[in-house]
Amino acid sequence: MTEPRTLTVDLGARSYPIIVGRDLVAGGFDIAPFLSGGACLVVSNETVAPLYMDPVVRLLGDRDVHTLQLPDGESFKTMATAQTVIDELVRMGANRDATLIALGGGVVGDITGFAAACYMRGVSFIQIPTTLLAQVDSSVGGKTGVNHEGGKNLIGAFHQPKLVLIDTATLSSLPDREFSAGLAEVIKHGAMSDAEYFSWLEKNMQALLQHDDVALAEAIFRSCEIKAAVVAEDERESGKRALLNFGHTFGHAIENSLGYGEWLHGEAVAVGMLMAAKLSDLSDKQQSRLRSLIQTAGLPIDPPPIGSEQLRKAMNLDKKASASALRFVLLSALGEAFVTSEYSEVLLSRILGSADA
């Protein structure tokens, strides 16, 4: 086991560490200090559980440990699936000292965190993300929830984990398409917050695609640093945290319009970032850099032919719309994002038109 790196999400009494390293699970990481003391429920899915469930259960030692496998895919990120987790907690007779452990990607993490937030008005949970997207984004910050046919993540709660344990070795089993989808959120962090990091990604994208250990650990740690700093300043998205939604207003509308799971979240966000960049007052050169980096990462650069009217309808239902006005995260330059409801309607219509067949 290589020496892990640790950073803290600073939320006072609810602060927690993000630990990034290789072979943390197989190497017997000491998870005991982060458990509440009661029963443990490890929630995974049918794809990840056969790979990593047994080592995680071994980490938990001789405690009262239960396991649950969910179906795999964004289409199962529903109230019904969250109910399955809660039903298992009831069946176990779990009390308020129970700990839920989310082992998987963003869907598993969001569902498990949401169940933990709801059960007995809140029990502890731990994130062990196994996809790049979850490691750099969804496992950090305490956003939990499920989708509704009217929009993505419309039902949810803020509920912070006790620990985020990021084992980079789990990425070795990740399909190339899902790995690229995770790179979309990595690129997002540089584009919205750190021009120097964005430049680093341009220089190191090939190393990341080749799963170079050093480059991968640096990208994950830096992305988590950026998100942790934003969350510490604005936990419940009343201000600065909204900047993390760069590309998501368009991206969520694409996901909703296609049907959840048709495009991966990162694929939709990649196109959403390019659409947001077009709506921004961004130079052609900087737009070209963003487009090139996204394309090099193996991500789509054009929206699917779902139609401009459908895309606008889905955007109007997005949870980030406020007082009937759309809010966008736009860029004044690479590394400098802002939230606004002021934009060119003519330009927006033109951008949405790129989704017409």
Q: Are 53 and 73 in contact (CB under 8 A)?
A: no
Alpha helices by DSSP H, the chain: 49-59, 79-92, 106-118, 132-133, 176-193, 195-209, 213-233, 248-258, 265-279, 284-296, 308-316, 345-352
**Which active-site residues does the annotation give?**
121, 143, 185, 227, 237, 241, 245, 248, 252, 265
Helix, strand, coil percent values for the chain (each to nearest 5): 50, 20, 30
CA 83 from chain centre, in angstroms, equals 22
CA distance 163 to 335: 28
Measured CA angle at 355 (ends 353, 357), to 5 deg: 100
Q: Are 52 and 172 in contact (CB under 8 A)?
A: no
Strands 124-129 and 163-167 come out as: parallel
